[in-house]
Amino acid sequence: MNSESAQVFLNKIKDKIGKGVYDKELTVPFMKRESIYASIKARVIKKLETGATPLLSDAEIKDAIKDAKEVAAISLELFSKIGILQKTEEGWIVTEKGEKLLQHVRPI
């Protein structure tokens, strides 16, 4: 298989993601559809580099989604530990410290 078949596969995955097929997996703050796609795409690229078929099995797609979920959970934990986010009864909020930091990264 070649990069053309990889692109066809990725386009089909992008369509599925766009239609919300994997939305039930978006259970962690910072986990977005884009992160699922990026994780799947990284696996496809790795397979192309090693000469393997670029198509992923359902198990490989589940593993890619799991990886995206882990990255989101690690990001949430780090932002919580350094005081940018705080868990409340209503959910996660940006702290005063986080707001000050965001002022420096937001476009004017």
Does 3 have pLDDT greater than 90?
no
Sorted by where each begins, the domain ranges of the chain are: 3-82
Residue-wise DSSP of 64-101: HHHHHHHHHHHHHHHHHHTTSEEEETTEEEE-HHHHHH
Does 107 have pLDDT greater than 80?
no
pLDDT digits 0-9 by tens, 27-82: 888 899 999 999 999 999 999 999 999 999 999 999 999 999 999 999 999 999 99
Res 106: pLDDT: 63
Res 64: pLDDT: 97
Res 103: pLDDT: 83
